[in-house]
Amino acid sequence: MSTTSVESVLQTLREHGLRMTPQRRAIVAEIMSTSGHISPSDVARRVRERVPGVNPSTVYRTLDLLEELGVLSHAHLESGAEYHHSSEAGHVHLVCSKCGGDESLSVAEGERLKDLISRRSGFHPDLTHFAISGLCAKCRRTAQAGRAS
Amino acid sequence: MSTTSVESVLQTLREHGLRMTPQRRAIVAEIMSTSGHISPSDVARRVRERVPGVNPSTVYRTLDLLEELGVLSHAHLESGAEYHHSSEAGHVHLVCSKCGGDESLSVAEGERLKDLISRRSGFHPDLTHFAISGLCAKCRRTAQAGRAS
DNA sequence: GTCGTTGCAAAGCGTTTGCAACTAT
DNA sequence: ATAGTTGCAAACGCTTTGCAACGAC
């Protein structure tokens, strides 16, 4: 499936008069094989491990480009911007401030929340752009137990 | 009221065996006079304009300290971390991705949302820690008009 | 051959650190 | 006098930039 994605990206690039290079192939492959999200600097690091010589600046330029083309999206987590393939866009990130765990609200739940907010405030939120920080169920239980004792 | 705040901060510092210095006074004053939020580097810049010689590192250390003491909080907006006095914590930031406008969900609405999410997902969100990106009512209307034409 | 793409090297930016000097208490 | 605090200067990590060489088409 990673191959399929690379092919479709190649397609997209061609439609825009852009080119597929080994570097881009490596970068796309890296992100497509990542479930969840990954920071630009991590992409740079990992791509570099596999294909020595890929320059960080190329990674940054490629990420920007792929996002403009709609292949990738980024969201803001605690550690900063993180990229993921657009097929994973739509997920609302729930990041636990205690254990660092990263859950996802279902797309349906996300939509419901979105509608609710927009109906009440007139503001149309994109709940996927920023993560939502908080306590996961597990850490919350621990915290309560601590309080009780 | 700015004075009151500075006094109460002084109080807090004393309780912890810490000291009130001219630099801290300037930093606290700057933040207390800011309605809304301000980035660390902006605090550094502004404080510097008023009290030349205040080193950026002092600003960063002070912000960290004041946050640990509960005097300040920070939230993540598009531009990164932003500080505000704790009395303004509780606000859910709604940031328009088009015009950059920054609205607030009422505290009551925020609470309702929070309860709703936690009831459904088991995750207890702090909706104030990250902003919520989206389109404000105004920009959304513009966008729709554009689409219709 | 054209023109998009890359690597390089440098600079930019915000932020952090160690340490000696300073100062609020 | 004692510790907390500051400025300095350097280092840091991530990201961006200009430009000449390169290479996909």
In chain A, what are the domain boundaries?
Answer: 6-88, 92-148
Check if A6-88 and A92-148 are the same fold: no
**A105·B117 Cβ contact <8 A:** yes
Q: Out of A86-95, B21-30, B50-59, B65-74, pick the least confident.
A: A86-95
Burial of B92 (C-beta count, 10 Å sphere; 0-12/13-18/19+): buried
Q: Assess whether B25 (CB) lies less than 7 A from strand D.
A: no
Q: How far apart are CA A18 and CA A134, in angstroms?
A: 42
Q: pLDDT tier at A149 (50, 70, 90 boundaries)?
A: low
Q: pLDDT tier at B93 (50, 70, 90 boundaries)?
A: very high
Residues A100, A137 contacting (CB under 8 angstroms): no
Contacts of A131 in chain B (CB under 8 A): 130
Say whether residue B127 is in contact with chain A using an 8 A CB cutoff. yes
Q: Which residues contact B109 (CB under 8 A, 6 or more apart)?
A: A120, A121, B92
Residues A137, B123 contacting (CB under 8 angstroms): yes
Chain A nearest-CA residue for B80: A80
Residues B71, B20 contacting (CB under 8 angstroms): no
**B109·A116 Cβ contact <8 A:** no
Residues B120, B105 contacting (CB under 8 angstroms): no
Say whether residue B10 is in contact with chain A using an 8 A CB cutoff. no
CATH 3.30.1490.190 assigned to A92-148: yes
Task: Enter the tokens of residue B145.
Answer: 């008009």
Q: pLDDT tier at B145 (50, 70, 90 boundaries)?
A: confident
Q: pLDDT tier at B4 (50, 70, 90 boundaries)?
A: low
> Fold for domain A6-88?
Arc Repressor Mutant, subunit A (1.10.10)
Residue B96: what pLDDT? 94
Residues forming beta bridges with residue A134, ordered by sequence position: A96, B125
Q: Which residues contact B63 (CB under 8 A, 6 or more apart)?
A: B27, B40, B43, B72, B74, B83
**Mean pLDDT over each residue of chain B, to the nearest integer:** 91
Q: Assess whether A76 (CB) lies less than 7 A from strand D.
A: no
Say whether residue A131 is in contact with chain B using an 8 A CB cutoff. yes
Say yes or no to pLDDT of A15 above 70: yes
Say yes or no to pLDDT of A3 above 70: no
Burial of B66 (C-beta count, 10 Å sphere; 0-12/13-18/19+): buried
pLDDT average, residue stretch A126-134:
95
- Of all nucleotides, the one whose C1′ comes closest to residue A39's CA is D14
Find the residue closest to C24 using CA and C1' atoms. B19
User: How do residues A49-103 score in pLDDT, each as one tens digit?
Assistant: 999 999 999 999 999 999 999 999 999 998 899 999 998 888 999 999 999 899 9
Q: How far apart are CA B14 and CA B12, in angstroms?
A: 5
| Nearest chain B CA: its distance from A27 CA (Å) | 25
pLDDT average, residue stretch B53-57:
96
pLDDT average, residue stretch B67-96:
92
Say whether residue A115 is in contact with chain B using an 8 A CB cutoff. no
Greater pLDDT, B90 or B144: B90
Residue B2: what pLDDT? 46
Handedness of CA B80, A91, A102, B113 (dihedral sign): positive
Q: How far apart are CA B144 and CA A121, in angstroms?
A: 18
Q: How far is the CA of B65 from the C1' of D2 (A)?
A: 21
Q: How far apart are CA A131 and CA B75, in angstroms?
A: 12
Q: Out of A66-70, B96-100, B143-147, pick the least confident.
A: B143-147
Q: Assess whether B23 (CB) lies less than 7 A from strand D.
A: yes
Residue B71: what pLDDT? 94
| Nearest chain A CA: its distance from B103 CA (Å) | 9
> Side by side, which strands form the sheet with A132-135?
A102-105, A92-96, A132-135, B124-126
**Mean pLDDT over each residue of chain A, to the nearest integer:** 92
DSSP A19-70: ---HHHHHHHHHHHT-SS-B-HHHHHHHHHHHSTT--HHHHHHHHHHHHHTT
pLDDT average, residue stretch B123-146:
92
Say whether residue B124 is in contact with chain A using an 8 A CB cutoff. yes
Say yes or no to pLDDT of B3 above 80: no
Rounded percentage of chain A residues whose pLDDT exceeds 90: 77
Q: How far is the CA of A100 from the C1' of D9 (A)?
A: 35
Residues B13, B19 contacting (CB under 8 angstroms): yes
Residues 72..111 of B with a Cβ closer than 8 Å to A: which?
76, 78, 94, 96-97, 103, 105, 109
Task: Tell me the whole-structure pTM to 2 decimals.
Answer: 0.88
